[in-house]
Amino acid sequence: MRTYLVTGGAGFIGSNYIHYMFKKYGDSIRIINVDVLTYAGNLENLKDVENRDNYIFIKADITDKDAISKIFETYDIDRVVHFAAESHVDRSIKNPEVFVQTNVLGTAVMLNSAKAAWELPDGGYKPDKRFLHVSTDEVYGSLTNDDEYFYETTPYAPHSPYSASKAGSDMLVKAYMDTYKFPANITNCSNNYGPYQFPEKLIPLMINNCLQGKNLPVYGDGKNVRDWLYVEDHAKAIDMVQEQGRLFETYNIGGHNEKQNIEIINIIIETLREILPDSDPRKAHITKDLITYVEDRKGHDRRYAIAPDKIGAEIGWKPETMFKEGIKLTIKWYIEHEEWMKNVTSGDYQKYYSEMYKD
């Protein structure tokens, strides 16, 4: 039975990845989920797998060397999928040190622990061991021209503390691959959306606010462009890179779904009005009148767009979920899981929301 160590598996992308892997491989794999359970890590995301015999949850911080080393000593880990990271740009502007601690130091601990467990006396590694570091397109900075795209060879130019910390973690992985021939890959993905996403991110934030009749805060002129990737397509890509990708390579994973932020918000309003029955009293207040422009984010990158040519040519992956379909699936999920939304938006999140968007 192949054993996967998934860091940050209680978060948005991590939990969707775990669901995808059990759906694909069933009882033929074992998954160990390591998560410290910050505000964005929620075990409710994994309720339907928590009783599986081939699933283990361990509450631990990836910066804790002793805890991570013990996991590698206790279990024969074959695959590491390293999602765990602080990932919200606004939070990184407020508190950058936390991002450096988790994203850079935490990645160093993961690399060192895996290297110690897998390395052989001759400097090689046990067979069929692989480490995948999940990163972001934000490390590449911002595109200025409409015909430009991020490629694996695009120079890094991070602008926020978040993207700088992810760039730092990517460089560590690259250094381990170059220096120690450590069996790893890096993936850089575009903006993900789908079920279980914490509602500080654009799409779930706007869905939640629409359903509650709250204002929809839009940074600047709302014309910042992002490439949107449905989260299950991302999970599939990660699995394919681990099994078919060339070691030591970076693969960009993009959705071919470029949209301005204001477009996204208008699509959410229109889709909610389409999905909700006329008898639902919330439908009446879900209009464009809710849109409220707020002061632009500091260092706000104008456009991200990934060219997933390499992963398509080498591995045969391509995004399968177009935005029109994916956003409907996502909105329906949030409507059907409003109790989940209420649970995750209580307490500290509400304080944070007020601080971020009060102006």
Just list the catalytic residues: 137-138, 162
Closest-CA residue to 202 (of 189, 220, 188, 216) = 216
- Rounded to whole angstroms, the Cα distance separating 358 from 295 reads 10
Determine the distance from the C-alpha atom of residue 94 to the mean position of all C-alpha atoms in its chain, rounded to a whole number. 20
Q: Which run of H or E residues covers position 231?
A: helix 231-244
Closest-CA residue to 299 (of 104, 40, 92) = 92
- Rounded to whole angstroms, the Cα distance separating 187 from 152 reads 9
Closest-CA residue to 291 (of 353, 217, 203) = 217
Q: Which run of H or E residues covers position 131?
A: strand 130-136
- Burial environment of residue 25 by CB neighbours within 10 A (0 to 12, 13 to 18, 19 or more): middle
Q: Tokens 């209009």, residue? A: 287
